[in-house]
Amino acid sequence: MTGEAVAAADGELRCPWGLSTEDYLWYHDTEWGRPVRGDDALFERLCLEAFQSGLSWLTILRRREGFRSAFARFSIPAVAAFTDADRERLLADEGIIRNRAKVDATMANARTLAGWRAGELDELIWSYAPDPVGRPAPKTLADVPAVTTESTALAKELKKRGLRFIGPTTAYALMQACGLVDDHLADCVSRPTPA
C-alpha cells in the first residue's frame, strides 16, 4: 500500500485506513475530521484518545458504547461525582479497557474540568486549531504528521491546567478526530471541496 487514497467498493477514493473494516469505513465517512463542539463531547473524545494510547483505535471504536454506558455518556459533572465504588465497577467492566491509570485519569480529569466554566474546554481546545490557509492537503499517509507544534502546545496547556494522560501525539489524534485539522487525503471523498 502506497498510502495514497484508494478506491472503495463504491468507486469513491478514501483514505486507505478507512477501508480496512466496516467500523473504520463508517467512522471515516461520518465522523473523523468533522468538527466536534461542546465540553462533554470533547471530554469524550479526549478520554477515548487516552484509552486508545498503546492500542488500536478499532479496539476503542468497538467498545465505544460500553465506554459511554460506563462513563455516564461522558457527562463531566456525572464522572466528576464518581466514587471509589464507581472506580471498582469500571475496573471490573469488560465493556471498556480496564486500565487502572486510564480510569483514574478519566475520573481525575472530570473533577478538574468540573471546576471550569461552561464552554471553557471547548474554547481552549479550539484555540489551538491551526489556520487551514497554507496547510496543504496530505497526498499520502506519509504526509500526515503524528505531532505538530499546535498539538504539543495544546498538550502542554492541558497538563498545566491539571489534566492527565495527554501528550502531543494524543492531542494531535484528538485534533484530527474532532476536525481541528483535516487530514483526509487530498483525493479522499470525505475531504470538503474548497469553496
Question: pLDDT tens across 152-189, in order?
Answer: 999 999 999 999 999 999 999 999 999 999 999 999 99
CB atoms within 10 A of CB 69: 12
Gap between the Cα atoms of 61 and 18, Å rounded: 13
What pairs with residue 7 in β-bridges? 13
Q: At what angle are helices 149-160 and 168-177 packed, to 10 degrees?
A: 110
Place 192 in a pLDDT band, splitting at 50, 70 and 90. confident
Residue with cell 478526530: 177
Residue with cell 465505544: 64
From 118, 110, 102, select the one nearest 78 (Cα to Cα): 110
- Known catalytic residues are 27, 49, 57
What pairs with residue 13 in β-bridges? 7
Q: Are 52 and 45 in contact (CB under 8 A)?
A: no
pLDDT given at position 120: 98
Give Dmax (Cα) for the chain.
52
| Mean of all residue pLDDT scores within the chain | 95
Residue with cell 480529569: 109
Q: Which residues contact 51 (CB under 8 A, 6 or more apart)?
A: 60, 67, 96, 97, 99, 102, 106
pLDDT given at position 71: 98
From 119, 118, 139, select the one nearest 191 (Cα to Cα): 139
The pairing of beta strand 6-7 with beta strand 13-14? antiparallel
pTM, entire model: 0.94
For the residues 122-149, what does the mean pLDDT come to? 95
pLDDT given at position 193: 65
